[in-house]
Structure 1
Amino acid sequence: MEIRRIAQAEAVEAAGNLFDAVPGRRATERFLADERHHLLIAYVDDIPAGMVTGVEMTHPDKGTEMFLYELGVEESFRGRGVGRALVSALEDLSRARGCHGMWTVTEGDNVAALATYRRAGGVPEADQVVCAWTCEQP
């Protein structure tokens, strides 16, 4: 398995099946253009097997943290350590970029994600609640 940091929209398009929805070209280019946005793709025999995205966030009293935005592993590659390797690679990148921590959010019943995050060293925070807003475009 080889994990590559992606900088070209074409590589994202070639691995589009790893995302929840088909990546949009403009959104992909905007994401990749920001040095604080990171996209890693794991390849097995040059086939995109999984991806993880991370976004650096800086706050005045907390410093910079990496938010693990999304993790996706192609079904035929699940159970082979691809997800764990991607999370660990993002953690290594976070450390290299000077982040003091990394965090993510997932559904409480997402057994696969929780197992992957725990195997990669993640520790669930107790009593956390996620609030979400939908910002509709006029």
Structure 2
Amino acid sequence: MTITLKRMQPGDDLDFSEIAPDVFDEPIHPDRLEAYLAEPGHLMILAFDDERVVGQCAAVIHRHPDKVTELYVDEVGTASTHLRQGIATTMVEAMFTWARELGCREAWLGTELDNLEANGLYRKLGGKRENMAYYEFEL
């Protein structure tokens, strides 16, 4: 098995019938993917096993008037058939590299406290856990 990564760019189109289960939370809508990739500062890396998507990492660049440019890692997903093979680690590291190339100096993300796999991954990558509250709003 050879896993390859691809930095998605505006105009990239994929046959999303070739997505392994559990990579994304919900089905992909081509128009949403197109809008996401067209938005400046929206980044996505996909992991492929041959032609099949087996991982994804999506992130957004935040620019501030009073802080360094930062990367918010919004989603990391790996197919249930490809867990514990280093794919998520490789994708997040590749995302950090891409973000540095684009001028980011910090990165942050959030995950559920009981998501042991994700917490282990982020600690392994050198992340420092912060205590914070999460609020969600219906718009």
TM-score, normalized by length of structure 1?
0.88
CA distance in 2, matches of 1:39, 1:99: 15
Give SS of 1:11's match.
coil
CA distance in 2, matches of 1:85, 1:68: 14
Deviation at 1:45, TM superposition (A): 3.2
The one-letter code sitting in structure 2 at the alignment partner of 1:4 is: K
CA distance in 2, matches of 1:11, 1:19: 14
Residue by residue, what CA displacement relative to the aligned partner does 1:38-84 show, whole Å, maximum 9, x if unpaired? 11011233432211001001111113111000000000100000011
Percent identity between the aligned chains? 27
State how 1:1-138 maps to structure 2 within 5 Å: 1-7=3-9, 8=11, 10-11=13-14, 13=16, 14-15=18-19, 17=21, 18-125=23-130, 127-135=131-139
CA distance in 1, matches of 2:132, 2:85: 30
* Runs of 5+ consecutive residues of structure 1 not aligned to the other structure: none
Deviation at 1:30, TM superposition (A): 0.8
Aligned length in residues: 134
Determine which structure has greater relative contact order: mean sequence separation of CA pairs < 8 Å that are 6+ residues apart, divided by chain length.
2
Seen in structure 2, the aligned counterparts of structure 1 residues 16 and 62 have a Cα distance that, compared at 3 Å, is: farther
Q: Is the 8 A contact 1:63 1:100 kept in 2?
A: yes
Q: Is the 8 A contact 2:60 2:73 kept in 1?
A: yes
Structure with higher helix content: 1
TM-score, normalized by length of structure 2?
0.87
Give SS of 2:92's match.
helix
* Runs of 5+ consecutive residues of structure 2 not aligned to the other structure: none
